[in-house]
Amino acid sequence: MADIIQLLPDHVANQIAAGEVVQRPASVVKELLENAIDAKATSITLVIKDAGKTLVQVTDNGSGMSVTDARLSFERHATSKIKSAEDLFNLHTKGFRGEALASIAAIAHVELKTKTENSEIGTHLTIEGSKVISQDPAVVPKGTTISVKNLFYNIPARRNFLKSNPVETRHIIDEFHRVALAHPSVAFQMLHNGSDVFNLPSSNSRQRIVNIFGSKTNEKLVPVSEETEILKIEGFVLKPEFGKKSRGEQFFFVNDRFIKSPYLHHAVASAFEGLVKSDIHPGYFLFLEVDTHSIDINIHPTKTEIKFDDEHSIYAMLRATVKHSLGQFNIAPVLDFERDKGFDTPYEYSKKQPTSPSIEVDSDFNPFKEKSKQGNINFPFKRENTTSWESLYVGLKDENTVVSNIGDIEFESEEVTGSLFESNDVETGQVTFQLQNKYIISPLKNGMMIIHQNLAHQRILYEELLKNITVKEAVSQQLLFPLRLHFSKPDVEIIEKIREQLENTGFVFSELKDETIEISGIPVLILESHVVNLLSQLVHDIKEEVPDSGFSQNDMLAKSMAAGMAIRTGVSLNKEEREHLINQLFACKEPSVSPNNKLVFTTMDSIDLDKKFM
């Protein structure tokens, strides 16, 4: 039998390895930023074009590379971070496998410019698909600049699987946040298509969080700090009232490396138990330091998962530390729930002796005297003219009138009924009932119809919003005092991109810049108090998966806004509101399903009811 096993060519092996290391442009950003950190850079600039599909460029002022190192860095399993297998359990650097640059060079056009501090001249290296095109000396500043162009140019199938530019940009910004938060002492700058997205100066952890997520974040942070023999914890958690329905601002860092850990997340969530609702996720920025020998970070290709030797102890310490911080800063409830801080004695008055208040009495004061305009002579008040007092009783019956029929007397009291539902609408016309403030029941000729009020209202709003966005005939209600909202800079840019569609639904923006949004008009279907939550949910939906421009984007906006504006479960509706909701529902084009294809109503005929009693 002929031999069938053969060694793969290097360029094929590199492309296969690239499938694990480089999944999207954000993967390239992560690897290059981490290399810059390992090179002891104090200033890093990230430049991307077309969401990284055309260009990803990272420039740093780190140690740079020699001519030999520059060429060798693109070979497989070539690294300066480790020398033996034992070094894997004593890592203080980011990249250590030596596969990143080799994998990136296998699927893109790579250009490297680098120079060490002691060298008079640097190196300019060009590689296309693992093939070295040129290597020349060049005059470049100290540090390294790597440009990755035309990602996946030689693997069209992988390129076709990339998402739209806004989605890929969102992933790049996430990776940028993770590296920037872990290293606040390093200055970062990010540019996308020529525009400045982030400009983060060297600072501390709190300032870095505020610079990334907006100035209003500062008032949301609660410091967390604890140090034991096993674990050192520093960082911040967000106050409970600023929790979100989505898991957005949640960051764990172990030895300055971002990780994902559902186990540790549960520890933080349990510390917030009783402070937030079950469907609300608390935010946190927690930096953990442990002994490098007690963790294994080489269990996942992207190195975002870590195995701890003693997970249970870390869980208990993390939970206790967060809970202590919430209590220490009066975030968690205390025993005395009625305590009013306004009655606390200020510190500077704690040692002073109390003095009796002085009482002054004006013995000449007479409330029944008024001062004359001519002088100081007092006159009594004048009595009002009462000559026409009889007119007050004109039209009234004689007080001796006796009620002839006791049944004519009406009493103001609620009628006690044995109705199963909240209201008894036994009037002429359509009769509807509300069950558990969630379902609307409407009798039919041969049974009854059960309608989910929230899903029904979503369908109604969805079709109306979609029509307004398309036809551009929405009605807006003007606000007496404009709403001034604060979002992070990337969130404001997202709202700027969909501003036209939002204005077509009834929003009126008077200001939209930096981290501030001022709204002077809102759609008639939404309450002013719901605007912040609606826009926050809308931004979150766009971050998760925004389609390209066109009908699909309008469809997504209409779905998201309808879900945020619809009547919630638990809201009581009167008879007119229930009937109006039903009439609007069956005036829709697709009344049977919600915008997300969930069943809106179901029917139950008398035969089904009869079977229940057999």
Domains with residue ranges and CATH for the chain: 10-200 (3.30.565.10), 212-328 (3.30.230.10), 422-614 (3.30.1540.20)
pLDDT score, position 223: 92
Arithmetic mean of pLDDT, 532-546:
76
Between the CA atoms of 302, 304, 288 and 180, what dihedral angle is there, to the nearest 10 degrees?
A: 60
The pLDDT tens digits for 113-165 are: 999 988 889 999 999 988 889 999 999 999 999 999 999 888 888 888 888 88
Burial (Cβ within 10 Å: 0-12, 13-18, ≥19) of residue 94? buried
**Tokens of residue 464, six digits:** 């109306």
For the chain, the distance separating the N- and C-terminal CA atoms, rounded to the nearest angstrom, is 73
Phi and psi at 340, nearest 5°, equal: -110, 120
- pLDDT for 148 equals 93
Of 285, 281, 276, 269, the residue nearest 237 (C-alpha): 285
Task: Give pLDDT tens digits for 47-91.
Answer: 999 999 999 999 999 999 988 888 888 887 666 555 555 555 555
Q: Strands across the sheet with 433-435, in order?
A: 433-435, 439-444, 447-452, 601-605
Q: For all residues of the chain together, what is the average pLDDT?
A: 80
- Please answer whether residues 233 and 318 qualify as being in contact, where contact means their C-beta atoms are separated by less than 8 angstroms: yes
Distance between CA atoms of residues 513 and 267, nearest Å: 38
pLDDT given for residue 14 in this prediction: 64
pTM over 0.85, yes/no: no
Point out which residues pair with 226 in neighbouring strands: 233
Tell me the pairing of strands 516-523 and 508-513: antiparallel
- Lowest-confidence range among 139-153, 224-238, 323-337, 512-526? 323-337
Half-sphere exposure of 273 (CA within 13 A, CB side): 8
